[in-house]
Amino acid sequence: MASEHILGRVSIVAPVYNEVDALWPLYESLVKVIDKLGRPAEVILINDGSTDGSDQRLDEIADKDDRFTVIHLRRNFGQTAALAAGFDHARGEAIVALDADLQNDPEDIPRLLAKLDEGYDVVSGWRKHRKDTWLTRKLPSAIANWLISRVTGVHLHDYGCSLKAYRAEVLRDVKLYGDMHRFIPALAYWAGGRVTEMEVTHHARKYGKTKYGISRTLRVLLDLATVKFLLAYATHPLQIFGRWGLISGGLGVLIGLYLTADKFIHGAALANRPALMLAVLLVLMGMQLITMGLIAELQARTYYEAQGKPVYTVRYVKYQAGRMREDFPGD
């Protein structure tokens, strides 16, 4: 892929939750990397309600180096919210996110940026040789990655890897909540972004305790259902509600016609037949689903029109050299 342009300023974003022992090693590793990047860089560390003294350690780092900014959240909001805070405060053209526990290797950051410079909008890390337990970490992750790839149509080996690089413009219209941060590549792809992945180094945890467990997989599955709906039906929700409404109503009508024919042809009694109740229930359910779809359509239109939010994204606009946007051909 041909390079579009070399990105200038870089923002490195890392959420922090109870990682006091890892913070100075993280600082030293990041300093080594940004000193040899060859482009301006800032580091934004987000204290996500830590209770182990990480807040004081982070302030010491910010006092020591003016390239480091610390954002203290009022409580523990979770990784997605912490990343959203970091993205909102980032000023770079390129944004790199990573974990603060040093299982992600900062030395991979230049390679991720080089891949962005080739013209990609998102570069996702792939922990091919992952240093985690198989049963509680690798197996659930493998199942989740397969499922997310199938549902979204964006096939990546490792959606859960926090080490990712983004063009800042891609993140402007991405609103994060729940555990949505892992789905940014899919959201970016559906908005027209170019997504790729590359192998990155993964280290065994040396400091602190893991914040992840099998229970997180359940939350990912629920968020996946939300993402699928947003990607496929956000701008035309009637298509999903209306489709099932028509199927339900149609089945109810067919059953009703059958019962009516049975009544007039064979004289069958209808009052004590469960099929009659089923036909009525299916018709009513179909009407409810179609009504829900129409209400959702009105809400979608209100959302986009009230905010002036376009239903498309533009990568760039090409004019003839020297022509300005205000120039009208023939004038």
Q: Is residue 135 part of a domain?
A: yes
What CATH number is given to the structural domain containing 67? 3.90.550.10
**One domain, residues 194 and 268:** no
Pairing mode of beta strands 41-47, 122-126: unpaired
**Residue 164, token pair as written in the block:** 């990712």
pLDDT tens sequence across 118-137:
999 999 999 988 887 777 77
**One domain, residues 283 and 184:** no
Q: Which of 233, 267, 282 lies at the terminal end of a domain, its last residue?
A: 233
**One domain, residues 91 and 211:** yes
Q: Which of 202, 233, 264 lies at the terminal end of a domain, its last residue?
A: 233
Specify the residue for token string 């900062």: 106
**One domain, residues 54 and 158:** yes
**One domain, residues 82 and 120:** yes
Domain of residue 272: give its range.
238-306
d(C-alpha 20, C-alpha 207), whole Å: 8
CA distance readout (Å), 132 to 128, 142, 176, 251, 276: 11, 12, 27, 50, 57
Q: Residue 126 in contact with residue 200, Cβ under 8 Å?
A: yes
**One domain, residues 302 and 153:** no
**One domain, residues 130 and 258:** no
**One domain, residues 219 and 144:** yes
How many domains are contained in the chain?
2
**Residue 37, token pair as written in the block:** 């990047």
Tens-binned pLDDT, residue by residue, of the chain (331 aa): 544 556 789 999 999 999 999 999 999 999 999 999 989 999 999 999 999 999 999 999 999 999 999 999 988 888 888 998 999 899 999 999 999 999 999 999 999 999 999 999 999 999 988 887 777 777 888 888 888 888 888 899 998 899 999 999 988 877 777 677 888 898 888 878 899 999 999 988 887 676 665 556 667 777 777 777 766 666 677 777 888 899 999 999 999 999 989 888 888 887 778 898 999 999 999 999 889 888 877 776 676 556 665 555 455 554 556 655 565 454 5
Q: Residue 176 in contact with residue 84, Cβ under 8 Å?
A: yes
Nearest Cα neighbor of 109 from 157, 164, 69 is 164
pLDDT tens sequence across 258-303:
998 988 888 888 777 889 899 999 999 999 988 988 887 777 667 6
**One domain, residues 32 and 125:** yes
